[in-house]
Copies of this chain bind each other. A is one copy, B any other.
Amino acid sequence: METTQPSGILSPAVTAFTEKLEIDAERTVAHFQWLLKQGCDALVVFGTTSEANSLSVTERTHFLEYAVSNGIDPRKLLSGTGCCSLPDSVALTKHAIGLGCPGVLMLPPFYYKAVSAEGLFRYFATLIERVSDDRLRIYLYHIPPISQVAISFDLIERLTTEFPGVVIGIKDSSGDWEHTRQVIERFAPTGFRVFPGSEMHLLPALRAGGKGCISAFANINPTLLQKVFQTWQRPEAESLQEEVQRQGRALRKYPVIPALKTILAEWRQDPGWETVRPPLVPLSATLREEVLRELAATRQ
């Protein structure tokens, strides 16, 4: 079955919480709408930046239904559905596809460490068999600094060979451009869709054959990133990418999710945006000031 897959600037959107730490669906959807209006081509709902693993399966399905019935076009949503347990991943994946999401972003199961490539292959293979839906499109989620379980080149090779047209892309959050370059070089020529997980690599990725980026920082600077995407074949993209780098370098010194939420809280004059679920904590007052000062400085 043919599907239309997103390219360009994807934001793994942050999740708003109420004071009682419940998902604030209304504020989160308003943020989704703002992101799409500001220039995001699509969103990842339930990525690392969304605190997805701090949410239960029920919270995730309910919120996704709310978003779709409140004006968010499901064709603009990749849904993060990879959990430690196969039944959870299957349930979330079926649900997202059923709602019309064009694809899912799948973490490998991340509790056990040093698992074999064979074990990871069986995990994905069993999932594909159980979901059993010709609309299924999987983007692998390689984020070893956090998951501690990597998606190796051999695993990509085996999955794309066994499940062509199903395992169709990757978010590479290794943070290592050389790794992303190699993934693109090896797999993009056959249509594999590579998105670096960092906007720091947006322009080089596009020029090497990547499809865009899925970056946490797209929560606050989608317009600038979209300009890079629009101009990547032209020389002026370089100075825009330099501006991206300046912002990225400044903000990377802080815990990413609380820093992004602090910025949104400031911009919207809505301190509730600072709320995160434990084990994350909001920025201290000192760090809060620092982040806002740094951000202002990079925009002068």
Contact = CB atoms under 8 A, between A and B. Distances in A.
Interface of A: 21, 48, 53-59, 84-88, 91, 108-113, 115-116, 118-120, 122-123, 126, 145-149, 277-281
Contact of A126 (B86, B118, B278): B278
A145 B122 CA distance: 23
B54 A281 contact: no
A110 B122 CA distance: 23
Nearest to A280: B119
A246 B142 CA distance: 39
A148 B279 contact: no
A91 B58 CA distance: 12
Contacts of A149: 279
A118 B281 contact: yes
Contacts of A278: 86, 109, 119-120, 122-123, 126
A21 B126 CA distance: 10
A56, A113, A148 pick with most chain B CB within 10 angstroms: A56
28 contacts: A21-B126, A53-B84, A53-B109, A53-B111, A53-B112, A54-B85, A55-B85, A55-B87, A56-B91, A59-B85, A59-B87, A86-B277, A86-B278, A111-B146, A112-B279, A112-B280, A113-B146, A115-B279, A115-B280, A119-B278, A119-B279, A119-B280, A119-B281, A120-B278, A122-B278, A122-B281, A123-B278, A148-B148
Given A53-B112, A84-B84, 7 more contacts: A48-B111, A55-B87, A109-B279, A113-B145, A115-B279, A119-B279, A149-B279
Nearest to A121: B278
Contacts of A147: 111
Nearest to A109: B279
A84 B123 contact: no
Given A278-B119, A281-B116, A109 B21 contact: no
A115 B281 CA distance: 9
